[in-house]
Amino acid sequence: MKILLIEDEPTLSQNIRQALAAEQILVDYVFDGALAERFFKNHYECIIMDINLPGKNGLELCRSFRTGNKHTPVLLLTAFDELEDKVKGFEAGADDYLTKPFFMKELLLRIQSLYKRAQQAKISAIDKDMLSFEDIRIDLHQKKVFRQEQEIMLTPREYQILYRLMEQPGELVSKATLMEEIWGQSVGMNTNTIEVYINFLRNKLDKPFGKSSIKTKIGYGYFIR
Domains and their CATH numbers in the chain? 2-128 (3.40.50.2300), 130-224 (1.10.10.10)
Q: Which amino acid is at 30?
A: V
C-alpha to C-alpha distance for 11 and 9, rounded to whole angstroms: 6
Q: Is 24's pLDDT higher than 60? A: yes
CA 109 → CA 81, 149, 165, distances in Å?
19, 37, 43
Mean pLDDT (the chain) is: 87
Nearest CA-CA partner of 60 in 95, 94, 90, 92:
92
- pLDDT tens for each residue of 142-168: 889 999 989 999 998 899 999 999 888
**How distant, in Å, are the alpha carbons of 34, 155, 163, 206 from that of 136?**
50, 16, 11, 10
Confidence band of 125 (pLDDT split at 50, 70, 90): low
Kindly tell me if the per-residue pLDDT of 186 is higher than 50.
no
Contact between 103 and 182 (Cβ < 8 Å): no
